[in-house]
């Protein structure tokens, strides 16, 4: 009786690192590897991953390449943007929001092919290992997880390169030395970390930026655009209805052309260290401002402020990999409820790194010009009513002040 061969679903980009991992799984575990390559809008062709996987001995039936751009934007990016989500006040979570989708598809493929384990290429120092693995375990509690960067004995960057050469894995010339920085990208953003960016006091070289031109190089003339929303999600650009991924692509190009969406951030990783990254989220930066703009006239003030209070907790859950946790789903339900009337049009001006709301309109608007005008309105609000409102809310403050005076007497 022969032992069953270990079958592993690997998140495979087709790049050098995941090709090394693929071969390592074959040599270290004698595993039958199933590769999964997702097109998330990273800007690179994914079909070459098929040829590389076949060259490394993966059976054609075990190669999965899927275009997930629409699902990514519709089911992950847009729900996150309904909350105006930023981590640590600035970061739009472009890497974090992609990991749950990849983890979900790996588990679905594992079930489909009867795999015993899943594998990712995240290092043992970063957040992505946590995000992938929390997703795996949430969806398949008993799945076996293989994390090569925590297991293998390679002690330097040169060691995996030597392994690749030994096993005849093609190595581009620029990979034989250490890369100047590492890049992660999808339709929402690109992030760059490491090497030339490790000194947080040093300005990031211009060549690091992948998705935007420098704001000072952007046109001297502003670009004006209109974005339509329905129930909190963008649905049209300049009057043209577009599916989610295409709309974000268009916004990305507008952001690129106007130098919008750059962020140089030192963040607090979940694993306990600080890390410096250069992020570019051109379309997302425009979308964030536009969404807030349409909310400003359509969402009740109390609901809006509560959502603002919930947002940091929601952002931390996504950053730390808890997309499939019940508390994230609970918060999402509240966030979605707040978006029932977030429908209308926002007009924006894009200029040299800035995305500014200059107009907003909606049939669902709560903005009442008769109430806010300095002229005489409809009579629904009598300015004299403010006196009683102020005295009522000032009562506890007056009581505190009277106690202070009494104690000092």
Query: Is residue 1 over pLDDT 60?
Result: no
Quick one: pLDDT band at residue 175, thresholds 50, 70, 90? Answer: low
Where do we find the tokens 């990783």?
269
Cβ atoms of 261 and 283 within 8 Å: the answer is yes
Average pLDDT for residues 1-21, to the nearest whole number?
Answer: 89
Per residue in 37-72, pLDDT (tens digit) is: 999 999 888 999 999 999 999 999 999 999 999 999
Per residue in 386-397, pLDDT (tens digit) is: 899 999 999 999
Question: CA-CA distance, 210 to 222, in Å (whole number)?
Answer: 22
Per residue in 231-278, pLDDT (tens digit) is: 999 999 999 999 999 999 999 999 999 999 999 999 999 888 999 999
Question: CA-CA distance, 165 to 159, in Å (whole number)?
Answer: 10
Per residue in 284-296, pLDDT (tens digit) is: 999 999 999 999 9
Question: CA-CA distance, 235 to 244, in Å (whole number)?
Answer: 7
Average pLDDT for residues 333-351, to the nearest whole number?
Answer: 98
Residue 17 is a catalytic residue: yes
Question: CA-CA distance, 299 to 54, in Å (whole number)?
Answer: 53
> Mean of the per-residue pLDDT values for the chain?
94
Which residue of the set 75, 116, 144, 182 is catalytic? 182
Which residue of the set 69, 99, 250, 276 is catalytic? 99
Residue 99 is a catalytic residue: yes
Residue 182 is a catalytic residue: yes
Contacts of 34 by beta carbon, 8 Å cutoff, 6+ apart: 7, 8, 9, 10, 58, 62, 63, 64, 109, 110, 113, 115
Which domains does the chain show, CATH number per domain?
7-69+97-178 (3.40.50.620), 184-299+339-361 (3.90.1260.10)
Q: Strands across the sheet with 190-193, in order?
A: 182-185, 190-193, 274-280, 262-268
Which residue of the set 39, 69, 96, 128 is catalytic? 128
User: Is pTM beyond 0.85 here?
Assistant: yes
Query: Is residue 181 over pLDDT 90?
Result: no
Quick one: pLDDT band at residue 105, thresholds 50, 70, 90? Answer: very high
Q: How far is CA 271 from CA 124, 127, 129, 204, 336, in A?
A: 9, 7, 10, 24, 30
């Amino acid at each position: 009786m022969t032992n069953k061969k270990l079958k592993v679903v690997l998140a495979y980009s087709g790049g050098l690192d995941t090709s090394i991992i693929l071969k390592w799984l074959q040599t270290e575990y004698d595993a039958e590897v199933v590769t999964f390559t997702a097109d998330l809008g990273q800007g690179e062709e994914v079909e070459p991953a098929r040829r590389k996987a076949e060259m490394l001995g993966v059976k054609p039936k075990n190669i999965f390449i899927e275009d997930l751009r629409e699902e990514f934007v519709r089911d992950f990016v847009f729900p996150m943007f309904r909350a105006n989500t930023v981590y640590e006040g600035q970061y739009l979570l472009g890497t974090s929001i992609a990991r749950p989708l990849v983890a979900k598809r790996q588990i679905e493929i594992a079930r489909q092919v009867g795999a015993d384990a899943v594998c990712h290429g995240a290092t043992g120092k970063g957040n992505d290992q946590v995000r992938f693995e929390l997703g795996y375990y949430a969806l398949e509690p008993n799945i076996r997880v293989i994390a090569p960067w925590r297991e293998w004995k390679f002690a330097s960057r040169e060691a995996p390169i030597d392994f690749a050469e030994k096993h005849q894995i093609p190595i581009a010339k620029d990979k034989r030395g250490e890369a100047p920085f590492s890049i992660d990208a999808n339709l929402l953003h690109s992030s760059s970390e490491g090497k030339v960016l490790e000194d947080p006091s040093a300005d990031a070289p211009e060549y690091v930026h992948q998705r935007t031109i420098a704001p000072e190089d952007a046109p001297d003339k502003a670009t004006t655009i209109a974005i339509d929303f329905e129930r909190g999600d963008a649905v049209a650009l300049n009057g043209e209805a577009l599916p989610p991924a295409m709309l974000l692509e268009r916004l990305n190009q507008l952001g690129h052309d106007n130098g919008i969406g750059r962020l140089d951030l030192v963040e607090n990783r979940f694993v306990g260290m600080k890390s410096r990254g250069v992020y570019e989220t051109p379309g997302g930066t425009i979308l964030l401002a536009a969404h807030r703009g349409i909310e400003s006239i359509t969402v009740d003030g109390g609901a809006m402020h509560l959502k603002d209070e919930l947002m940091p907790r929601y952002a931390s859950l996504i950053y730390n990999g808890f997309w499939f946790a019940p508390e994230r789903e609970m918060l999402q339900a509240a966030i979605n409820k707040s978006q029932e009337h977030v429908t209308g049009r926002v007009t924006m001006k894009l200029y040299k790194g800035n995305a500014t709301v200059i107009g907003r309109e909606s049939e669902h608007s709560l903005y009442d010009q008769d109430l806010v005008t300095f002229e005489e309105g409809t009579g629904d609000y009598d300015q004299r009513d403010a006196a009683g409102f102020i005295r009522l809310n000032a009562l506890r403050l007056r009581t505190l002040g009277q106690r202070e005076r009494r104690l000092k007497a």
